[in-house]
Structure 1
């Protein structure tokens, strides 16, 4: 009797079991297909405003970036340096005022470096030659030291000494002159209380360098020879 009246408890093996399972699978497939377009078509989640990390702008390389770190950098770049503008505008002129040299003066330049450097016309001609050799900073430094020696006001001496140091002594300056370590050490110590003679040793060293290195080339340069020729051919005024 149990065998005759009994069947599958859940109807899993009944004749309609395959139809029910097929319907469930079709329903699940429809649900998956209807959900897929929403997932693919939805835009990517956008980060909330203000949720960017504090260092995110450091990885931005576009020129239109207006992040705060670039604003700070631009403000720092626009800050004026510590050197007073008034003293900067009083820098040495491109050319010293001097009358046209005579033939005798130009001939005297060949006799000694001292005779060349003692006249403004000689310094101008030599400075023009140094410019062609990209070593004009040597003459500029020497002249700046000469100007410093004329000062008597302590405040001006300190300010000009600092400018000379930044322009010609500092290793960060593009116009740095060539000095040995001993001279640099003395200058660094004396910068605490600079005087008008703080750069005397350095000035002498640069003077000697110009004398031994650049002066012989100047005497053989086309610049000097052309000047000498032009004065030689100039008619003597009555």
Structure 2
């Protein structure tokens, strides 16, 4: 049954991510998956790319970087002042506060800017911090993702699916390679 989770060894974790990306995210075409290696910007513009990259970040214990970046993107779309203030407070508590288990790594200059911005929160309160985290992911985690077994296997699966034009999986294979949320 595909809903059951079968424990895999730690060495299999990165391969599990690949299949999870294929199952739960919008299915990337081979062309789309290949484009992720061209630039970090292409990866981040792709819903499938962000999902797969987030799963990879989870294995590196840095998923909070993507979570913070996504929360900032969501905040920038908000126009209601009351909702903006609430979202700013929540983002601060979740990712900026030193008491948070999901605290992102920011330099002191950016933290000072945030503290000043918190006096009058706007949808751009975390702009500098978001850019710093984006750059961190781009320079640090992205090259490892592109060179990872997870990404290589994703490309292989995309190639296979591209060849057969069918998006289906062997249930036993999927169950073995699942990770839990």
TM category, shorter: 0.7 to 0.9
Counterpart position of 1:117: 44
**How far apart, in 2, do the equivalents of 1:150 and 1:225 lie?**
34
**Counterpart pick for 1:181 among 108, 112, 120:** 108
Please identify which structure carries the higher helix content.
Answer: 2
Q: Does the alignment pair 1:141 with 2:85? A: no
Deviation at 1:179, TM superposition (A): 0.4
Deviation at 1:237, TM superposition (A): 3.2
Counterpart position of 1:237: 165
Q: Does the alignment pair 1:210 with 2:137? A: yes
**How far apart, in 2, do the equivalents of 1:219 and 1:153 lie?**
38
- Partner SS state of residue 232, structure 1: helix
**Counterpart pick for 2:149 among 222, 229, 234:** 222
Structure 1, gaps ≥5 residues long: 1-94
Q: Does the alignment pair 1:99 with 2:26? A: yes
**For residues 121-150 of structure 1, what are the alpha-carbon distances to aligned partners after superposition, in whole Å with 9 as ceiling and x for unaligned?**
000000000000000000000000000001
Counterpart position of 1:169: 96
**How far apart, in 2, do the equivalents of 1:194 and 1:136 lie?**
25
Aligned length: 143
- Partner SS state of residue 73, structure 2: helix
Task: Say what the alpha-carbon RMSD is for the aligned residues.
Answer: 1.5
**Counterpart pick for 1:191 among 118, 129, 140:** 118
The alignment's TM-score, normalised by the length of structure 2, stands at: 0.76
Counterpart position of 1:59: none
Counterpart position of 2:178: none
Deviation at 1:99, TM superposition (A): 2.4
Counterpart position of 2:35: 108
Please say which structure displays the higher CA radius of gyration. 1
Counterpart position of 1:63: none
Deviation at 1:192, TM superposition (A): 1.4
Q: Which has the higher contact order (CA 8 A, sep 6+)?
A: 2
| Pairing 1:66-105 to 2, within 5 Å after superposition | 99-105=26-32
- Partner SS state of residue 129, structure 2: helix
Deviation at 1:98, TM superposition (A): 5.1
**How far apart, in 2, do the equivalents of 1:191 and 1:162 lie?**
8
